[in-house]
Structure 1
Amino acid sequence: MRAGKLDNVIEIVRPGGYVDDGYGNQVPVDDTVIATMRAQVIQASTEEFMRAWGASTERAIIFRTRWLDDVRLSDKVRHAAIDYNLKEVKPIGRRRGLELRCSA
């Protein structure tokens, strides 16, 4: 992985969830940015599907980045102010890098 190809900035974001506020109510907690890192966009595509409720558009993108431990499928990737859901986290080599397959 060459450093010159890592020309995009992404953030790995972990959803906050809910906590008890002391009165028995569930209050949402802000998302936590786990890491801000450089990445390479391998493939980006947009597809349109016909669903039961009508037409829908799905954006798919693949990022390649340096190794980061503890990346979960429940995390999100933020790139260019768009949040992508992780579909697959694929390691490259022995802790050399990660390939993140995402969709929005």
Structure 2
Amino acid sequence: MLNIGNMDRRITIERETETVKPSGDVVKAWAPIAPPVWAEVLQQTATEFFTGYGEAETGTMIFRVRYRPGITTADRVTYNGTAYGLKEIKELGRFEALELRGEALK
């Protein structure tokens, strides 16, 4: 069940776009696919994991937003100046909400 009262944070959902300059160069940039939306931040963690070269940290964030069609894992979420690449998108209810699991991009 979606609790609208918990959606007290603003996030921006962005999609990578390509623009061709008059010189023929292709420029890639991230552009919002909608105005900033209200979201509930469910979890924020710094997960440590071991790699062959030592320790590394990954910031994981889960956002819950009202249902919006067309969002894919190729998109990203920007929150508090940090961009999060979407790793998983889960539909909650029947077209009620989406749970976006993102990992901080470096």
Q: TM-score range by the shorter chain?
A: 0.7 to 0.9
- Quote the offset at 1:16 in angstroms: 1.8
- Quote the offset at 1:42 in angstroms: 1.1
- Quote the offset at 1:49 in angstroms: 2.0
Give me the identity figure in percent. Answer: 31
What residue in structure 2 maps to residue 31 of structure 1? Answer: 30
1:61 pairs with 2:47: no
Per-residue CA shift, 1:22-49, capped at 9, x if unaligned?
Answer: 44433x1431101210011111110122
* C-alpha RMSD over aligned residues: 1.5
Q: Provide the secondary structure at the position in 2 that maps to 1:32.
A: strand
Give the unaligned 5+ runs of structure 2: none
Give the distance between the partners of 1:20 and 1:85, measured in 2 at CA: 24
Query: What letter is aligned with 1:31?
Result: W
What residue in structure 1 maps to residue 43 of structure 2? Answer: 43
1:11 pairs with 2:12: yes
Correspondence 1:80-91 to 2 at 5 A: 80-91=80-91
1:52 pairs with 2:39: no
- Quote the offset at 1:13 in angstroms: 0.4
Greater shift after overlay, 55-64 or 71-80?
55-64
Per-residue CA shift, 1:48-96, capped at 9, x if unaligned?
Answer: 2222333211011111110111001100000000000101111111110
Query: What letter is aligned with 1:74?
Result: A
Give the unaligned 5+ runs of structure 1: none
Alignment: residue pair count: 102
